[in-house]
């Protein structure tokens, strides 16, 4: 069964709201035959990445970049997964206080290096997520999962 791996760093209620919406979209009843696996960014491993068919990443912006937990994930999996995961679809969401530019730039650069294919627009939110933000997260999850349906 195709597998969507959600790798997230979720340290606050605002991030949790975005994460839950992404999971809700990815596991919507109309999406059939897709396994959704969630891993905290500090616990995700190269085998998790190799075993999946698509990826959804989510983290806060910290100190002008992606949160260290997501950077740690990429550091762990980059070379072990470089050969085998090229071309696979991914999407991501970032939450920040005021400026997520550096986090977005970092995620785009690393995923370009991996050769992953962005399958949906990124969702970026600063401050408390509004209804439209939560809906965008739901759509992000649903789009990635639907793309893996056989
Ligand atoms: C050490 C630290 C650095 C941060 N750096 C940034 C940053 O560079 N850009 C930004 O938009 N938000 C930054 N933030 C805010 C976090 O992104 C924000 O706290 C996180 O997304 C959780 O959101 P919440 O606090 O509204 O729940 C920082 C927070 C901390 C604790």
Q: Whose CA is nearest to atom 5 of ligand 1?
A: 62
Ligand 1 pocket, residue 64 CB under 6 Å: yes
Find out whether 19 and 8 touch, Cβ atoms under 8 Å: yes
Strand ranges inside the chain, DSSP E: 3-8, 35-40, 54-62, 65-66, 89-96, 117-118, 123-126
Structure confidence at residue 150 (pLDDT): 76
Three-state secondary structure call for residue 132? helix
Structure confidence at residue 110 (pLDDT): 98
Q: Residue 76's domain is classified under what CATH number?
A: 3.40.50.360
Q: Which residues of the chain have pLDDT under 50?
A: none
Q: In which domain, by residue range, is 21 found?
A: 3-148
Q: How far is the CA of 57 from the centre of ligand 1 (A)?
A: 17
Q: Which of 44, 76, 78 is nearest to 58 (CA)?
A: 44
Q: Whose CA is nearest to atom 22 of ligand 1?
A: 12
Mean per-residue pLDDT of the chain: 98
Ligand 1 pocket, residue 15 CB under 6 Å: yes
Q: Which of 25, 18, 6 is nearest to 95 (CA)?
A: 18
pTM of the model: 0.97
Ligand 1 pocket, residue 95 CB under 6 Å: yes
The total number of structural domains in the chain stands at 1
């Amino acid at each position: 069964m195709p597998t969507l791996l959600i790798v997230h760093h979720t340290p606050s209620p605002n991030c949790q709201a975005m994460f839950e919406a992404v999971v809700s979209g990815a596991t919507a009843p109309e999406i059939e035959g897709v396994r959704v696996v969630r891993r905290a960014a500090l616990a995700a491993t190269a085998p998790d990445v190799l075993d999946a068919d698509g990826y959804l990443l989510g983290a806060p912006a910290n100190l002008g970049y992606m949160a260290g937990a997501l950077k740690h994930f990429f550091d762990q999996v980059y070379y072990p997964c470089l050969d085998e995961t090229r071309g696979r679809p991914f999407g991501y969401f970032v939450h920040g206080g005021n400026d997520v530019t550096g986090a977005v730039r970092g995620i785009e650069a690393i995923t370009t290096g991996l050769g992953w294919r962005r399958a949906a627009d990124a969702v970026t939110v600063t401050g408390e997520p509004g209804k439209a933000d939560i809906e965008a997260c739901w759509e992000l999850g649903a789009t990635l999962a639907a793309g893996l349906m056989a």
